[in-house]
A = this chain, B = another copy of it.
């Protein structure tokens, strides 16, 4: 089974900025049920329909298919709103690629960094701008950011 293994972190500085150009992502969910999420994503001028299973430890099954952007636009209109909008920056570091997502819209103010691994136990080096790990925190799942955006959290 294709599996996605990833870890997710907050950022503690802006030192990652200025190296690469971001790509605009717009995505919505046809299902936010954790056992079977279905995501529609437009990433720049490409689009994808993605099915994911439940997360166990740091991994989950993932099935992703490219779809026409025009289809994706119409499927986004079927999604339960609001959409999740962000710019994604791909930052190379120590042989791995970090994906830094700077959220817009109702999640403005939130920036997350993710790294995709080839095994759950893979060792990797943290850039100095990486902060606390939030891999296990469901609030940061994009499927939950659609329903309960960052702007609605109590920031205490």
Q: Which residues of A contact B (CB under 8 A)?
A: 1-2, 30-31, 33, 35-36, 38, 49, 51, 53, 61, 63, 65, 67, 71, 74-75, 78-80
Contacts and interface: CB of A to CB of B under 8 A. Distances in A.
Contacts of A35: 78, 80
B74 A1 contact: yes
Residue from A2, A30, A65 with most neighbouring chain B CB atoms (10 Å): A30
A71 B63 contact: yes
A99 to B, nearest CB: 24
Nearest to A78: B36
Contact of A31 (B38, B53, B71): B38
A77 B79 CA distance: 23
A71 B2 CA distance: 9
A36 B79 contact: yes
B63 A51 contact: no
Contacts of A30: 30-31, 36, 38, 51
B78 A49 contact: no
B75 A63 contact: yes
Contact of A38 (B38, B61, B65): B38
A10 B150 CA distance: 50
Across chains A and B, which 6 residue pairs bring their CB atoms closest together, nearest first?
Answer: A31-B31, A36-B78, A30-B36, A38-B38, A53-B78, A63-B71
A65 B53 CA distance: 19
A132 to B, nearest CB: 31
Contact of A74 (B49, B63, B74): B63
